[in-house]
């Protein structure tokens, strides 16, 4: 399958979410994604189900549905339902998310998140492909039988090499976030290959989740990025990743060099060339995450959708 360039939806509510998926399809975007907060508080799989019913060809994906609040049988059932109604158009991306949010928001006993992710992937994959699962793990107990299982695409988030390795072994792909390209090339891709080798399978694609902005004012892009992406500097996991990627002073804040690596901006043509570099260096797909100007939300979204569609046409050929 040719590499694709999709876009993250950032909606205020469920109606806005569905409208943006429709807008993305009309613009020529091949895949619409949603992050945890991308649906404005609405349930993302449900909102995507409605969006799929009101569009004809765009594919959609969750990046990601947090694992701690939902049992894997429930996640699998939601995904199977959508897959039955819109075959081949729904992509389930899951992940453990962050300890602070999962503990504060859901009271999750957040420990051994990689083990939990592996168990979720195992249960969902087994149930969706065989129609039966009987599993007891550290985090998950799952026993269910489905009369007519329907396989669907199963992805997972990854940040550290061990999670990329787990994706290579157990998932249909890995979804990164806030990872400099050099880190993806030097750390993530080899880890995925190692995981795939352990499972005696082909290495699945790495979906590079990349912030973008259609603007030639680089300083304005950096300022907006610092405001909208600043929270990750308080996470020890992200700081460790930034240091591993060659930015040892990340704990002091976003340097211009780090932002220039992370955020792709410029004209549509310049954005296309930067994104093409991710594919050339081994990533299988791009998930473009628009930075939204508060005073020009609609314009930011429209420009981003246009740039993503143009990049996809150029990269997919």
User: Are the beta carbons of 282 and 292 closer than 8 angstroms?
Assistant: no
Residue 286's pLDDT is 98
Model pLDDT, residue 72: 97
pLDDT of residue 233: 81
Q: What is the pLDDT of residue 99?
A: 66
pTM comes to 0.95
d(CA 233, CA 76): 33
- Which residues, given as ranges, of the chain have pLDDT below 50? none
**Residue 144 burial (CB < 10 Å; 0-12/13-18/19+)?**
middle
The structural domains of the chain, ordered by start, are 4-316 (3.20.20.30)
Position 235 scores a pLDDT of 84
For residue 250, what pLDDT is reported? 85
Question: Could you read off the pLDDT of 29-43 as tens digits, one per residue?
Answer: 999 999 888 888 899
pLDDT of res. 83: 97
């Amino acid at each position: 399958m040719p590499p694709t360039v999709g876009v993250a939806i950032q909606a205020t509510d469920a109606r806005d979410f569905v409208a943006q998926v429709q807008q993305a399809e009309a613009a020529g975007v091949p895949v619409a994604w949603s992050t945890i907060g991308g649906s404005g508080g609405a349930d993302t799989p449900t909102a995507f189900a409605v969006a799929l019913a009101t569009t004809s060809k765009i594919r959609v994906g969750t990046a990601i549905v947090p694992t701690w609040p939902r049992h894997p049988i429930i996640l699998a059932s939601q995904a199977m339902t959508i897959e039955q109604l819109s075959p081949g158009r729904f992509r389930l991306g899951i992940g453990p998310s962050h300890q602070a949010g999962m503990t504060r928001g859901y009271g999750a006993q957040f420990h051994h998140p990689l083990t939990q992710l592996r168990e979720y992937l195992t249960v969902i994959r087994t149930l969706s492909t065989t129609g039966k699962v009987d599993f007891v793990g550290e985090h998950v107990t799952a026993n269910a039988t489905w009369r007519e299982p329907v396989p669907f695409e199963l992805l997972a988030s990854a940040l550290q090499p061990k999670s990329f390795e787990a994706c290579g072994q157990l998932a249909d792909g890995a979804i990164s976030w806030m990872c400099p390209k050099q880190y993806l090339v030097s750390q993530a891709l080899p880890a995925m290959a190692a995981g795939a080798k352990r499972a005696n399978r082909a290495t699945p694609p790495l979906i590079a989740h990349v912030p973008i902005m259609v603007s030639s004012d680089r300083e304005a892009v950096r300022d907006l990025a610092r405001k909208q992406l600043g929270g990750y500097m308080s996470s020890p996991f992200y700081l460790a990743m930034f240091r591993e990627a060659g930015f040892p002073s990340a704990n002091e804040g976003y340097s211009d060099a780090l932002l220039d690596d992370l955020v792709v901006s410029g004209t549509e043509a310049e954005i296309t060339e930067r994104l093409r570099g991710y594919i050339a260096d081994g990533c299988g797909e791009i998930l473009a995450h628009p930075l939204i100007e508060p005073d020009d939300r609609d314009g930011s979204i429209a420009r981003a959708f246009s740039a993503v569609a143009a990049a996809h046409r150029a990269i997919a050929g």
